[in-house]
Amino acid sequence: MSMSAGSIDVCPWSLVSIHWIDAFDSENGWIAIKDYKPKRCDVVSVGFVYPDALEGYISITGSYMPDELPEMETVGMITHIPCAMVQRIVVLEQPNWSLPS
């Protein structure tokens, strides 16, 4: 399932691939304008949707502890991506709330 940037409404803790445009800098030092050729910086980030972490951003985490569900207490490697920069979200897998015994 693929979602557009205009509707960032993904099930919490879904595994997603987020395609987004990152901000970027030029090289350091003086740059001749006639030689400067900026290139868009397209990025793909993969992680679990961390719901309601920061307003105006979609946040993903690389790790969480499923035995803490449904009240998550610990996550790891959080990335916050500005919603305005998101081009596409692909849901890779819906969360599975059951744990193996």
Which token pair is 65? 């502890």
Residue 12 in domain: yes
In angstroms, how far is the first alpha carbon of the chain from the final one? 30
Residue 101 in domain: no
Closest Cα to residue 13, out of 85, 64, 54? 64
Show the domain range for 48: 2-23+40-93
Between residues 13 and 81, the one the model is more confident about:
81
**Any residues with CB less than 8 A from the CB of 91 and at least 6 apart, and which?**
1, 2, 3, 10, 11, 14, 15, 16
CATH number of the domain within which 82 lies? 2.30.30.520
Which token pair is 94? 């819906």
Sheet order of strands, 57-64 included: 2-4, 86-93, 15-22, 41-49, 57-64, 75-82
Residue 16 in domain: yes
Q: What is the number of structural domains in the chain?
A: 1
Could you give the CA distance from residue 16 to residue 19 in angstroms, rounded to a whole number?
10
What pLDDT is stored for residue 8 in this prediction? 60
Residue 35 in domain: no
Residue 99 in domain: no
Residue 100 in domain: no
What pLDDT is stored for residue 52 in this prediction? 85
Q: What is the pLDDT of residues 41-93, one digit of tens each?
A: 999 999 999 888 899 999 999 988 878 877 888 989 999 999 999 999 999 97
Query: 3-class DSSP state for residue 63?
Result: strand
Between residues 13 and 8, the one the model is more confident about:
13
Write down the pTM of the prediction: 0.77
Residue 89 in domain: yes
Residue 85 in domain: yes
Residue 9 pLDDT greater than 60, yes or no: yes
